[in-house]
């Protein structure tokens, strides 16, 4: 079974066309960031990085533990 973290990592987010012409990759980036935001519980008012997207992609690249119960 694929975990949410693995699913996010498996999305194609690297564009293969110049600029922002690769619509699929750009949409996948948005989808990935939204999932990471939810998985880290960033909507919780008690979180220091609440309401920000700062460091989300880096956390998945580094293999940080995400709270999947926040989805």
pLDDT in tens, 36-47: 888 888 888 887
Place of tokens 């920000």: 52
Quick check: 28 and 11 in contact, CB under 8 A?
yes
Question: What pTM did the predictor assign?
Answer: 0.65
pLDDT in tens, 19-64: 789 999 999 988 888 888 888 888 888 878 788 888 887 876 776 6
What's the sign of the alpha-carbon dihedral 8, 25, 31, 54?
A: positive
Question: Would you list the domain boundaries of the chain?
Answer: 4-70
- Among candidates 3, 49, 9, which has minimal Cα distance to 31? 9
């Amino acid at each position: 079974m694929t975990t949410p973290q693995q699913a996010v990592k498996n999305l194609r987010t690297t564009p293969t066309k110049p600029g922002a012409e690769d619509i699929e990759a750009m949409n996948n980036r948005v989808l990935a960031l939204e999932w990471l935001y939810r998985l880290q519980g960033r909507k919780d008012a008690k979180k220091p990085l609440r309401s920000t997207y700062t460091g989300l992609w880096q956390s998945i690249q580094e293999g940080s533990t995400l709270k999947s119960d926040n989805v």
